[in-house]
A and B are shown apart, each in its own frame.
Chain A
Amino acid sequence: DAGVTQSPTHLIKTRGQQVTLRCSPKSGHDTVSWYQQALGQGPQFIFQYYEEEERQRGNFPDRFSGHQFPNYSSELNVNALLLGDSALYLCASSLGALNEQFFGPGTRLTVL
């Protein structure tokens, strides 16, 4: 039973570029949440997708957008990258709402 998987593992971009991160939820899960974790900080909630729609959103600008596909996998897109976007991006999946969230290993994004 595969857990939450994320790709790529590491990514280096330059300021102003755009990036897409991918997440496959744990088998049987239909809800995906994204978090950003800066160095030395706890994860910060970006948004959550359920039934291919954004259901909740944290305090992040519109440069951060996402998508969920019919197979429940999800993408996180960040436009116009800033140096401050450098972080570990974590995906978490769950079965429906208000249930235990399982986290993936994350994608380490470095913006130069």
Chain B
Amino acid sequence: DAKTTQPPSMDCAEGRAANLPCNHSTISGNEYVYWYRQIHSQGPQYIIHGLKNNETNEMASLIITEDRKSSTLILPHATLRDTAVYYCIVRPSNTDKLIFGTGTRLQVFP
């Protein structure tokens, strides 16, 4: 079973920041937080991952709370092409197995 909880859907205006929350209250010390997204009819695309510290790359920023029980994925300037299902995944450091939940369907509107 997925170890994360995400809202089923969110809307965001184009050009605004999209903040996608994820709850992982049972996360263990050796587990990473990963984010993937899946645009309709395509395979999931890796976005970002982190362990304790906040992370940023060319796609997004990942903010992990100090107690690590929740995190937020931030798309700083959402575009229509960011419309997708976003999955938050908790992955132990000793396995490649990604356990997906049902994700958050983000709709970016003009």
* Best-surrounded residue of A4, A40, A42, A106 (most CB of chain B within 10 A): A42
B95: which of A35, A42, A56 is its contact (CB, 8 Å)? A56
Query: Provided the pairs A42-B2, A43-B44, A90-B44 are in contact, do residues A101 and B96 lie with their beta carbons within 8 angstroms?
Result: yes
Q: How many of chain B's residues have a CB under 8 angstroms from any CB in A?
A: 20
**A35 CA to B41 CA in the complex, in Å?**
15
Query: Provided the pairs A42-B87, A103-B45 are in contact, do residues A33 and B96 lie with their beta carbons within 8 angstroms?
Result: yes
**A42 CA to B96 CA in the complex, in Å?**
16
Instruction: Judge whether B99 is part of the interface by a CB distance below 8 angstroms.
Output: yes
Q: Does B46 lie within 8 Å of A45, measured CB to CB?
A: no
Interface string of B5-49 (1 = CB under 8 A from A): 000000000000000000000000000000000000111111001
Cβ of B35 to closest chain A Cβ, rounded Å = 11
Binds B, one of A14-22, A71-79, A92-100: A92-100
A interface residues, Cβ below 8 angstroms from B: 4, 31, 33, 35, 40-45, 48, 55-56, 58, 90, 92, 94, 97-98, 100-106
B interface residues, Cβ below 8 angstroms from A: 2, 41-46, 49, 87, 93-103
